[in-house]
Amino acid sequence: MPLDSKALDTKDRAGILHPPPLPWNGREAERGDGGRRLFRPAGAGRLPDRLLPFALPGALLASWQAVTAAGFMPEQVLPPPSLVLRTFIAFLGDGEIANNLLVSLRRIACGLGIGVVTGFAFGLLLGVSRRAEAYLGPLFRAFAAVPALGWIPVLILILGIDEALKIVILSKACFVPMVIATLDAYRNIPARLREAADVMRLSPRTRLLKLTLPAMMPMLFGGLRLSAGQAFVSLIVVEMLAATEGIGYMMVWGRTLFQIDIVMVGMAIVGVTGFLLDALLRRIERGIGARMGERTGSHG
Amino acid sequence: MTPVQSSPAPSLAIENVRKTFTVETRTFAALDDVSLTLRHNEIVSILGPSGCGKSTLLRLVAGLETPDAGALFINGRRPVAGPARDCAIVFQDHRLFPWLTVSGNVDLALDSCRLAPAERRERVRRYIALVGLGSFASAYPRQLSGGMAQRAAIARALVAEPALLLMDEPFGALDSLLRTRLQGELLDIWERNRVTILLVTHDVEEAIYLSDRVVVMQPNPGRIRAVVDVGLPRPRQREETAFIALRKSLLELLS
């Protein structure tokens, strides 16, 4: 019979507490969702859970191959997956992919880094200071309403088409979601805990490290992941419009050559890289959550 | 009875305090002309129906609200602004930081004290042991039962050794068995570490069992209706005639 919470409290006359077998690390505690298994129908021939995410892409790929093999569409419009794969392997071999991907990732890293750091700082400023919010809040919202890509025509004139243009566009794309996430995270610090911190008269430093940041962490990570997504979108567009290298440029180049297979290789690389980046951020997020004992927010 | 006092100033003096709140366009007085003095090491309970301003009074003392009129003095000192030194509070919910262990939470309350690291660690350990959580020092709040979490909150309030301990229905969310036990434990702790306690409760028995004096409040506007001396020797028995008689008269005062 499982111990209930009252039984856990048992202390005998000698004052010795009997520690119950508690789920000591977060991972085991999380697994307590017995409900999910109950609703799974026990059918024969079902895929293992790990393979489920691949079922739909696999089916799409198969029908794509079937459509092209039947010759419904010319190869210039819809190249077969086998051709895309051949192009992919050829580009992988001559370093075309590695070079362009490296250039694109460097731009992502710069833009994400600058946008996230400045976005966090600015969001915190708006959250902490009512006056800053009054002065800067409306301007920020107007600024946020113009998409990063809407700035390209003006910025091309000012910055040219060099690296600076891409970094500025990407930073702006990451800045906005990070500011919003930081502001929301700050406002969602539970008032109950803020009062507890008030009566303990915590120093500003302790308050930041032990209350503000841990309480904000889940939402900050949500903002970080949103920013990374925005960075990818903007990167590809800006590379397609004004660049001489990068995955986006590679796609435009393929289109001008009427080699849609190259475009599709680019699309696949962007998709997979974005997916991996998000998975990495989620893993870090979970790691931090486990270290802090508990997460106040929901899993993103 | 004249208790020997180390300091001439009372532990807590509340003088003609008034506090109003405005909801929409209506203004009502949560507290109107409330005065109360607590002697050192005294336990005083505030009893009253909901809406009588008893929690507001506690929040004023803690410095979480400011009075519209009147003044509050803790050990003769008037808190400048914000939460007062020498004063700790236990809320109805434990309010432990979920990302910190029990010792991390208790240690937090020593942030404003200047203690050597070794002494600080020892103090945290001692107070966690005092509330009977010795083997749960490295547990996180979500791993504790309600009673254990509330005890951790009590350890956090006591660890800075405040002169005044405020408690806002600290056992209100617990079941009656656990409540009775924690009331006993609170008295044990109070006997060992003398501290003045101001306790808000809506439980008449709890008020009689714990306190030297019971303050009965009434709502609309929040005022003190009566201050009753308990005057029963400790440990008190809930079944004895004097206890039951006192309970009856307090219930009459409340209705």
pLDDT of A27 above 60: no
- Which one of B61, B97, B159 would you mutate to disrupt binding with A, by most A Cβ within 10 Å of its Cβ? B97
Q: Which residue has the tokens 């500025």?
A: A168
| Range A12-20 contact pairs with CB under 8 angstroms and sequence separation of 24 or more | A15/B132, A17/B132, A17/B133, A17/B134, A17/B135, A17/B136, A19/B135, A19/B136
Interface ipTM: 0.87
- Tell me which residues of chain B have a C-beta less than 8 Å from any C-beta of chain A: 62-64, 82-83, 85, 87-89, 91, 93, 95, 97-101, 104, 108-109, 111-112, 132-136, 139-143, 145-148, 156, 160, 175, 177-178
The model's pLDDT over A68-105, given as tens digits with 9 standing for 90+, comes to 888 888 887 888 888 999 999 999 999 989 999 999 99
- Tell me which residues of chain A have a C-beta less than 8 Å from any C-beta of chain B: 5-6, 8-9, 11, 15, 17, 19, 22-24, 29, 192-193, 195-196, 198-203, 206, 210-211, 214-215, 292-294, 296
A116 found inside a domain: yes
pLDDT of B31 above 50: yes
By the 8 A CB rule, do A17 and B151 touch? no
Q: What is the pLDDT of residue A3?
A: 43
Question: Which whole number is the average pLDDT over A234-258?
Answer: 91
pLDDT of B51 above 70: yes
Q: What is the pLDDT of residue A35?
A: 43
A134 found inside a domain: yes
Strands laid side by side in the B87-90 sheet: B87-90, B164-168, B196-201, B43-47, B213-218, B223-229
A252 found inside a domain: yes
Q: What is the pLDDT of residue A31?
A: 42
Q: What is the pLDDT of residue A292?
A: 61
A114 found inside a domain: yes
A108 found inside a domain: yes
The model's pLDDT over A188-208, given as tens digits with 9 standing for 90+, comes to 999 999 999 999 999 999 999
Residue span of the structural domain in which A126 resides: 81-299
Q: What is the pLDDT of residue A227?
A: 94
A64 found inside a domain: no
Of residues A300 and A175, which shows the higher confidence score? A175
Q: What is the pLDDT of residue A116?
A: 96
A26 found inside a domain: no
pLDDT of A44 above 60: no
pLDDT of A209 above 60: yes
Question: Per the structure, how many domains does chain A have?
Answer: 1
The model's pLDDT over B123-171, given as tens digits with 9 standing for 90+, comes to 999 999 988 899 999 999 999 998 999 999 999 999 998 989 999 999 9
CATH of the domain at A148: 1.10.3720.10
Nearest to B21 by CA among B68, B73, B69, B71: B68
Q: What percent of chain B has pLDDT over 70?
A: 96
Q: What is the pLDDT of residue A113?
A: 96
State the pLDDT confidence band at B28, using cuts at 50, 70 and 90: confident
Q: Do A17 and B132 touch (CB under 8 A)?
A: yes
Of residues B105 and B193, which shows the higher confidence score? B105
How close, in Å, is residue B96 to chain A by CA atoms?
A: 8
A287 found inside a domain: yes
The model's pLDDT over B88-107, given as tens digits with 9 standing for 90+, comes to 999 999 999 999 999 999 99
State the pLDDT confidence band at B7, using cuts at 50, 70 and 90: low
Q: What is the pLDDT of residue A293?
A: 52
